[in-house]
Structure 1
Amino acid sequence: MSTPPPTPEAARADGSSVLIGALVPLTRPGWVEAGRHLLAGVELAVREVNDAGGIAGRPLELVVRDTAADPHRAAAAVDELAGLGVAALVGEYHSVVARAAATRADALGLPFLCSSAVLDALTEQPTEWVARLAPPQSRGWQIYADFLLGAGHSRIAVATQPSVYWASGTRILRDHLAPRGGSVVELDMSALTPAAVCDELVDKRATALLLLVGHPEPAVPIVRAVRRDQRLAEIMIGAPAGQPELAAWATTLGTDGAAIPFLRYLPERLSPLGERVGAALRERLAEAPSFVAFEGYDTVTVLAEVLRSHGADRARTAASWPHVAVDGTRGQIRFSRAPGISVWQWARAPIQVVDRHPAEPDRFRILHAG
């Protein structure tokens, strides 16, 4: 006869670990580098929570599942982790994957604190079970659109692939730019080669090309083709989804990957906590930590405080989101409801538009802040 896995309540009773499920893209076609940074932040925070006594004397224990950027795999992992008795879920980078996980967590009554995904509607209907640290896509991409206009760009081309995330981003840009005299033309990368993209940019007289595509393919070949086309010497390449944030971008593209503005979710200056955590993350990763690593750390920091205050009961955890007030690495974290956002949202997450310095691709320049 099989024994069912322990519930969180059973874990409390027998003094065992408090289980936390972590959803992370660790294999292709997931963005593995982002997953590695996210997990590094999560693991560092878990270690510090346990060094400080855990949750009422019981250690936090991570149960990590690789989503590989697959929504079906993520939903199955949520089912498995719920059955294992996790108190809550954390993580996920890819928005479409996080949406599948959030929908399943909502259906099961399992708290999910989403670290990085930005789709406004992570669930079809408003839910009490899901909260999020990353700013919603509408807020971040509108700030990016304001940056484009301020830099003199009103004729925008977007190289895009079929995806709810890219379609949502295109719609946000178009809706925000059109009333302000801007236009957006879509270039379908399922039908165009990088060379054909260059011809389209010349034909449409675009002054900016945004990469709403995966990394490294087809983002890297597009960048190389545009940089080498003398007809496009004045065009700006942008990547609002943040592809240039991680070190592999600079390693692969070198100076071709510089001066490509993108969104990242860091303040202009980190707090003392952020500085300390940043140093620890740098040592753990053997490279500069991305904003994704800080998101991972802050996620566990917030959840640990909730568990200390309310215990590992799932319903009490979900009920606590509107009462959270935790100092994270990037500011004080509080959750609220916002129009059009289906989950509890950190409304004041910092947003920057940055790029890699042309003369020093390992150094970032802050171009705009929202």
Structure 2
Amino acid sequence: MNTPPSPPGPRRADGPPVLIGALAPLTPPGWVGAGRHLLAGLELALDEVNGAGGIGGAPLELLVRDTAADPQRAVAAVDELARAGVRCLVGEYHSVVARAVAARADALGLPYLCSSAVLDALTEQPTERVARLAPAQSRGWRIYADFLLGAGHDRIAVAVEPSVYWASGTRILRDHLAPRGGTVVELDARALTPAQICDALADDGATALLLLVGHPEPAVPIVRAVRRDLRLTGILIGAPAGQPELAEWAALLGDDGAAVPFLRYLPERFGPLGARVDAALRERLGEEPSFVAFEGHDTITVLAEALRTGAEDGLWSRVAVEGTRGRIAFSRVPGIGVRQWAWPPIQVADRDPAEPARFRVLHTG
């Protein structure tokens, strides 16, 4: 008896590789956990693209470079990757690093798809070569400010370190809160010890302290000091930059790291694609994937579509593709000099004090 042949399975890509430069913080003082999750998402999606035949039969190949949160090191990596013949750059988590990468890539005429950095001014001048998946800081941090006001916090203290990123965040919070009756007081985390920050909080009467500082230092010591100060019982600790999202936060702080609201860029519920990728990332990472891992996966999904259509040559506006967190397309947003996905889903979430491994969604925007 003749039987019909089985349908062919996915065709492996076997042509000359398409080289893609990938940048991520993989060693300190970079946020290593974020870099690991970003790379896991990039690699998972790359395996899927190559398993389905690559780009016109050519496999994608990642050339990964560690930025260690150092802009100068990142610029040197961009130059090296350009000499190696990469078609495009992807990745990076730290905003000040991504800004340096974007400037150098644009100067070299090299397309760059930024995965995770949120600083509004990613480039000094508008460019068509750079596109971004993460929401702009001004959008996410305004949503965070609305959450604070809704929770009854109108006198906010920020423990802040010198940085373009932290200064931008402080300005966004102050400008958004002031017309609504809110105030922001700055505490210099470089000049003050954690104990002195506690003293300043007790004197000021702020009901919320936001951590605009590096992780794990000095964020972890500050959290421990505040949690143990009986004068500050009931004060809200917040971390809008997302530090509590990753397992390292819970491992270092335990119960002290719960109930610290942060911004994350995930939907309330995944669709079929997001659910499948979530399961695959859990297996690959051995832990719950952060929003950074999904940003990595979406980056390669977008890039593959751009390479198929030639959009990576500065025509990101032609890309429209289904990502893990919704339909992704790029547009011009006022005040943003790069092509922007407007907008990924945004949540304010925290770790449940009753079960720190579980996240609670407190607010959506």
Q: 1:294 to 1:31 in 2, by over 3 A?
A: same
1:1-370 equivalences in 2 (<5 Å): 15-310=15-310, 316-370=311-365
Match of 1:11 in 2: none
Mapped to 2, the partners of 1:15 and 1:358 lie a distance apart of: 52
Query: SS of the residue aligned with 1:270?
Result: coil
Task: Please say if residues 260 and 351 of structure 2, whose CA atoms lie closer than 8 Å, have aligned partners that are also in contact.
Answer: yes
Residue of structure 1 equivalent to 2:6: none
Secondary structure, in 3 states, of the residue corresponding to 1:23? strand
Contact 1:130–1:318 (CA under 8 A) maintained in structure 2: no
Contact 1:355 1:366 in 2 (8 A): yes
Q: Secondary structure at the match of 1:298?
A: helix
Q: 2:224 is matched by which residue type in structure 1? A: R
Give a deviation string over 1:297-327, Cα, whole Å, max 9, x none. 00000000111122xxxxx523331111100
Question: For residue 347 of structure 2, what is the amino acid of its counterpart?
Answer: Q
State the match for 1:4 in structure 2. Answer: none
Which amino acid is 1:348 matched to?
W
Give the CA deviation at 1:296.
0.2
Shift of 1:244: 0.3
Residues of 1 paired with 2:315 and 2:47: CA distance? Answer: 23
Distance 2:100 2:309 in 1: 29
TM-score by length of 2: 0.95
Secondary structure of 1:334 counterpart: strand
Counterparts of 1:326 and 1:228, CA distance in 2: 48
- Verify the 8 A CA contact 2:130 2:314 in the aligned structure 1: no
Structure 2 unaligned blocks of 5 or more: 1-13
Q: Report the CA distance between 1:262 and its aligned residue.
A: 0.2
Give TM-score, length-normalised by structure 1: 0.94
Q: Write the distance in 2 (CA, Å) between the matches of 1:318 and 1:289.
A: 31
How big is the shift at 1:135? 0.1
Note the C-alpha offset of 1:100.
0.2
CA distance in structure 1 between the aligned counterparts of 2:30 and 2:226, rounded to whole angstroms: 26
Matched residues in 2 for 1:335 and 1:308: separation? 16
CA contact (8 A) 2:15 2:59 kept: no
SS of equivalent to 1:62: strand
Distance 2:273 2:294 in 1: 11
Deviations 1:210-260 (A, max 9, x none): 000011110000000000111100110000000000001111111100000
Q: Look up the SS of the partner of 2:177 in the other structure.
A: helix
Q: Which amino acid in structure 2 is aligned with residue 36 of structure 1? A: R
Matched residues in 1 for 2:76 and 2:268: separation? 39
**Which structure 1 segments of 5+ residues have no match?**
1-13, 311-315
Shift of 1:15: 4.6
Paired amino acid for 1:350: P
Paired residues, number: 352
CA RMSD of aligned residues (A): 0.9
Write the deviation string for residues 163-199 of structure 1: whole angstroms up to 9, x where unpaired. 0000000000000000000000000011100000011
2: distance between equivalents of 1:135 and 1:253? Answer: 28
- Structure 1 counterpart of 2:8: none
**How far apart, in 1, do the equivalents of 2:234 and 2:305 lie?**
50
The 2-side partners of 1:361 and 1:15 are apart by 47
Aligned partners of 2:204, 2:231: CA distance in 1, in Å?
13
Letter aligned with residue 295 of structure 1: E
CA distance in 2, matches of 1:145, 1:222: 21
Letter of the aligned partner of 2:351 in structure 1? R
- Give the distance between the partners of 1:123 and 1:66, measured in 2 at CA: 21
User: 2:129–2:315: 8 Å Cα contact kept in structure 1?
Assistant: no
The percentage of aligned residue pairs carrying the same residue is 78
